[in-house]
Structure 1
């Protein structure tokens, strides 16, 4: 949030602790006396994010476009909430005001009118957040909250989603819901900056478009620590300055990545290749120059392993790397701009674009590149045997030692 946005927040008294003993109309401000205002930093510590935008130009707003691209909000719709435009208005508003959580973020951009979002803080106190035209707010998955209009009885909202919209509200109590558990865990631990560019979750068994998120219901997220237990390493870097990035240089030196290869996949139609062994050498590749291009994309999604690490650094766009866990279940790893991921030799995995159909990635190697994929099954390969011994069987060995000690 900029200093101007923060100042606007305080001048408008956007958020405050509520008087929970009041029996007044829910559409009234319900301030405590004396008033207890809540700062943007306090809300940010709860995972609530805020931007101040220009609602009169939302269709062409570059800042809104960047927020959507950075956070993967590829679905949008508009909603008018008022007695004249919502069927069963009183019943709907009653449901909105029932305390609940969602398994996904709730993203709302106020274009006209005004309304209240109430959220619970760490001590279970209600905070009332007053949004007006130009306010974009994000409530994290798993936070207890509710919604109501103010006395103006009208708001026009833009709703944003990652992938297809999910509307399900889970009314309190929901302490055993995976989204609630993940939210509580994030409250008590410092957020890992890598999670801004790398996210992971268990996949469902659907055969829908491979570029969709394929979350399970309810969602089951996988932490970066859990990925590291599978040998999958990750960093967040400055993708806009990769040519001079000291941290990238150190990673390359420490891990011996002496070869760099940069590629594009855009709209499943063209590929541009750069070879940085010398000065940047641009090779133009498109359907007219790369036979069987669609077949290549299909091949990337075939389950396979490599006898060397697979290192990918996302410089723009995004895509999915799917890996198998210890129990052979698929984990989808979403890598976005700034994310670098290392898949160990011998792990079964696959790659696909997401619905944005675009990724620009740097590929790193130790020595000259080895491209060969070995489609499953290839359990007899030394690389697979070494992976299983290092990352799969180690858990069984530890269990045996523990059992013997008992």
Structure 2
């Protein structure tokens, strides 16, 4: 997984798939200081077992992880709603999403309020990311690449399904006002 400083912040409502690499790399330690946790698990059965063991150690419920296969986006309305939220809007989740990319690749733009910048994280198959509750981010992926993406996802909820999943992502102006956003900012000393 690699990360770098974006040359400009993401624009609400725009799926910005241009790489935009400023050649200013961002270290895993800098991302960790923002509360994000990055892992490399692999996509085979052993990698998925490591992901599930890590999820358990982080306090995630023992139910199965939700497999979001975006190749079915044209068939499943909830997948379309989820992708629209994550791609076209600044988003937060109060439930600390933890995912393992099984296939495909995309960008996740992370707001770095400590250094007043945005970081572009390049996520590829085998990467695991734990997103802190209240952190603002936006994803970017080309339409062709979207249908190649499959992820295992865990949220800190009792019941996880595609139907309940969509409710655990808050986007747009509601994201800025959500109580978990204030809690996240305080955790960064702001």
- The alpha-carbon deviation at position 131 of structure 1 amounts to 1.0
Q: Is 1:80 aligned to residue 69 of structure 2?
A: yes
Q: Deviations over 1:307-333 (max 9, x none)?
A: xxxxxxxxxxxxxxxxxxxxxxxxxxx
CA distance 1:103–1:22, shift in 2 (3 Å): closer
CA distance 1:81–1:185, shift in 2 (3 Å): same
Q: Give the SS at the match of 1:128.
A: strand
Q: Give the SS at the match of 1:36.
A: strand
Give the structure 1 partner of residue 149 of structure 2: 155
- 2: distance between equivalents of 1:27 and 1:16? 15
Pairing 1:189-208 to 2, within 5 Å after superposition: none
Task: Point out the structure with max Rg over C-alpha.
Answer: 1
Give the structure 1 partner of residue 29 of structure 2: 41
**TM-score normalised by length of structure 2:** 0.77
- The alpha-carbon deviation at position 54 of structure 1 amounts to 2.2
Higher relative contact order, structure no. (Cα contacts within 8 Å, ≥ 6 residues apart): 2
CA distance 1:125–1:77, shift in 2 (3 Å): same
**TM-score normalised by length of structure 1:** 0.38
CA distance 1:54–1:36, shift in 2 (3 Å): same
Give the structure 2 partner of residue 130 of structure 1: 122
Give the structure 2 partner of residue 68 of structure 1: 55
Higher helix fraction: Structure 1 or Structure 2? 2
Q: Give the SS at the match of 1:50.
A: strand
Q: Give the SS at the match of 1:152.
A: helix
Give the structure 1 partner of residue 45 of structure 2: 57
Q: Give yes or no for contact 1:51–1:135 (8 Å, CA) kept in 2.
A: yes
Pairing 1:296-311 to 2, within 5 Å after superposition: none
Q: Deviations over 1:100-128 (max 9, x none)?
A: 21212121110111112211002442211
- 1: distance between equivalents of 2:48 and 2:91? 34
- The alpha-carbon deviation at position 25 of structure 1 amounts to 6.0
Number of aligned positions between the proteins: 174
Q: Is 1:28 aligned to residue 18 of structure 2?
A: yes
Q: Of 128, 133, 146, which aligns to 2:138? A: 146
RMSD: 2.9
Q: Deviations over 1:319-370 (max 9, x none)?
A: xxxxxxxxxxxxxxxxxxxxxxxxxxxxxxxxxxxxxxxxxxxxxxxxxxxx
